Amino acid sequence: MGAVTPIGHDLDQFWNGLMEGRNGVEMITSFDVSEYSTQFAAQVRDFDFSPFVDKKEERRTARFILLAVAAAAQAVAHSGLDVHAEADMVGVEIGSGIGGIEILEETANVLMTRGPSKVGPFTVPMMICDMASGMVSIKTGARGPNSCSVTACSSGANSMGNAFHTIQRGEAVAMITGGAEAAVTPLGLASFCAARSLSQRNDDPKHASRPFDLNRDGFVMGEGAGILVFEDLEHALARNATIYGEIVGFGASGDAYHITAPAPEGEGATRAMKMALKEAGIEPNKIDYINAHGTSTHLNDKNETAAIKHIFRDHAYKVAISSTKSMTGHLLGAAGAIEAVAAIKAIMHSKVPPTINYETQDPDCDLNYTPGKAIDKDLTYVMSNSFGFGGHNAVLIFKKYQ
């Protein structure tokens, strides 16, 4: 696994940040936000890309791609997988919801001020969402199935689910998979401000991301990448790989309801959870921890809570739940990926990450959200939820490897 996040630039830093309840939200300084209704985000600050790309390549490459390349390099090194030895059977699937939005902004400005002849040749390849997968393939030499899911905030989760099924079908022995996003830009921020999706706690940004709390007022934008190496079990055992966990279930559904609002009572999310449990072959009461989508918006948290109650019944009040977005912000298309990393690390260390900034109970959100501090808990099965604009729902289930 590899992680480049607002609370840590590698796997260990990220996990330690979660355990400490580290807060990655700060005022934006990379551009002038004085006229924005929201002026803060959770950004990856002071990251050195030089071990992964040279300066020329860095200058002409979209930030989300750079983040994916860095996290993928970490993950492949961590796995010990010799990609070149079986390149045709190692694939890549990395999701991104928005892609190279800063390239679009910069190029649109060049077009309007200097004319079409000044538009750069790298505009399209650096802007499109699939280029994270493409570049990771080029950098690692992986020549197997190569794709990208673009399903808003479910992009990373959908990509991992697709990678899982690609291996199940025998089309690859390993997949480099996850998500990457870097949309904290003038246009990205302005668009979410206009949609009234973001918290406006400019006087107190550290307490802005507060999933399930009564006084939540919107999500906090984040950026980063999470990449994992999924591998066929027999193949992993044959090379004596260290196995950190198993992926055993994936469910995906569509709300068919609204472009931004979730279906009432989390109906679509309920179906995705049900599908994942069915593929995993377990009853709901076997789930020990849920890494919730938990965005800190009024509708999402309320409806995700309702969906959990529909599926888990009495167990809903016993299962540990947390939203790590309280610390990292919402990484949009990369959220499901870094949350999958968090879920697997939770299994490995028998620890449930906390939901920070949870202070006042909402009557509609009355479950155990692990407020404030991490807790010790033996975990066998963990569920990770991701839901996105357009009514996309994706749910993954991970299991302790035994």
pLDDT at 312: 98
Q: Which of 165, 159, 88, 162 is nearest to 129 (CA)?
A: 159
What is the CATH code for 2-399?
3.40.47.10
What does the pLDDT look like over 58-70, one tens digit per residue?
A: 999 999 999 999 9
> What's the rounded Cα separation, in Å, for the pair 91 and 93?
7
pLDDT at 44: 98
Question: Annotated catalytic, 293?
Answer: yes
pLDDT at 121: 94
Q: Which two tokens stand for residue 306?
A: 């309702």
Q: Classify burial at 255, counting beta carbons within 10 Å of its beta carbon; exposed 0-12, middle 13-18, buried 19 or more.
A: buried
What are the domain boundaries of the chain? Answer: 2-399
Q: In the structure, how many helices (H) and strands (E) does the chain have? A: 13, 14
pLDDT band at 29 (very low <50, low <70, confident <90, very high): very high
Question: Annotated catalytic, 153?
Answer: yes
Are 93 and 148 spatial neighbours (Cβ–Cβ below 8 Å)?
A: yes
Averaged pLDDT for residues 72-79: 98
Q: Which of 24, 4, 9 is nearest to 325 (CA)?
A: 24
- The single residue of 9, 129, 148, 153 carrying the catalytic annotation is 153
Alpha helices, H only, 281-334: 298-312, 325-328
Neighbour count for residue 400 (Cβ, 10 Å): 17
- The single residue of 9, 293, 310, 392 carrying the catalytic annotation is 293
pLDDT at 281: 98
Which residue spans within 108-210 are E strands per DSSP? 146-147, 174-181
For tokens 């790989």, what's the residue? Answer: 241
What does the pLDDT look like over 155-187, one tens digit per residue?
A: 999 999 999 999 999 999 999 999 999 999 999
> What's the rounded Cα separation, in Å, for the pair 388 and 383?
17
Are 304 and 366 spatial neighbours (Cβ–Cβ below 8 Å)?
A: no
Question: Annotated catalytic, 349?
Answer: no
pLDDT band at 140 (very low <50, low <70, confident <90, very high): very high
Are 253 and 393 spatial neighbours (Cβ–Cβ below 8 Å)?
A: yes
Long-range contacts of 347-351 (CB under 8 A, 24+ apart): 347/244, 347/245, 347/379, 347/380, 347/382, 347/398, 347/399, 347/400, 348/244, 348/245, 349/15, 350/376, 350/377, 350/378, 350/379, 351/19, 351/375, 351/376, 351/377
What does the pLDDT look like over 271-318, one tens digit per residue?
A: 999 999 999 999 999 999 999 999 999 999 999 999 999 999 999 999
- The single residue of 129, 148, 310, 330 carrying the catalytic annotation is 330
Mean of per-residue pLDDT scores for the chain? 97
pLDDT at 30: 94
pLDDT at 249: 98
Q: Which pTM was predicted?
A: 0.97
Averaged pLDDT for residues 120-138: 96
Averaged pLDDT for residues 86-113: 97
